[in-house]
Structure 1
Amino acid sequence: MTTTQRVTPSSVFVGGPFYGLVNPETGVMAPRDQSKINRIIEHFEQGGAKVYNAHRREQWGAQFLTAPVCTKLDYTEIAQSDVFVAYPGVPVSPGTHVEVGWASALGKPMVLLLERDAKHTFLVIGLETVANVEFIYFDEVDEILEQLDDAVHKVLTRTGPVRTDI
């Protein structure tokens, strides 16, 4: 009997809504919103991966970088990561959607976290026609964590060309 060894990433970029979730009164994201992203980050760190993430880097909104600096950093870190994992957001996060586009154009394996009962843009749910992506549909963060390792393993071991003849 042969067992397949799970492929795990050495580096991950974790993206999700940020700027629009920062409370103008406190200057940071609400603890509930922080927790959703932080649990995903910690999941990968516990597995030994280096995690790139703007939320932590910019202290959940307390220390926003300038637009040129954070744009370049996010792009560079996505390019350096083994896999891109993101929650595009409900309501939609324009910045995260830009990052999804970058990851797709860079040919990065992706796992997108989509709320089960939400309406998602066609260009996100149709992404599997042009990119190496797995979708995790969820109601609660625990559902994400239960499926995350399998989804990452699938995109990291998937072979074959992505369609470019469209």
Structure 2
Amino acid sequence: MYSIKSKLPVVIVLAFMLSGWFISSCNKGDEEQTISTFLTDRDGLWRLASLRVETLHGDTSKRRDTLNTNCVFNQSFTFKPDGTCTYEDFSCLDQTTNGTWELATTDSVIFRSNMVCKDTTVTGTGRPFAKAQVLNLGQNSLVLQVVRTDTLRKTPLVVLRRRISNYGFIR
């Protein structure tokens, strides 16, 4: 017959596993706080290092560009712990734009900002970070991806045009 002594190691291992699972399940709410801390520490200043834009028709890549390669301005994004933000010289235009920011962490980390910036499009202004996905965030790098989708044509089948902008920032 089995004695309690032979089952003791199994019980101890199960107790450790359950306590680890319990502790990790309680820390889920800290994820957004940690991401906010990464964005706002060291004065919250991030400088634009690269902007890569790709245009796709359906799943076919039509154009891939690296923008602002010869911009004379230092474009910078500043995040403050109170939920406000500032973008200087967006789209290589002499301007300072203010707004608010927030994070949503449902399936992925989504960054949202209400700032309206002047740009070089036909409309002349836009909300470039109304909904951006955080692709990478570390102590010294931040990559935001913005995807804009519209319908290119509907007949005979629907072809979607996507413009994917990857903003790479460094400290």
TM-score by length of 2: 0.23
Instruction: Give the greater-gyration-radius structure (CA).
Output: 2
| Structure holding more strand per residue | 2
| Structure holding more helix per residue | 1
- Greater relative contact order structure (CA < 8 Å, 6+ sep): 1
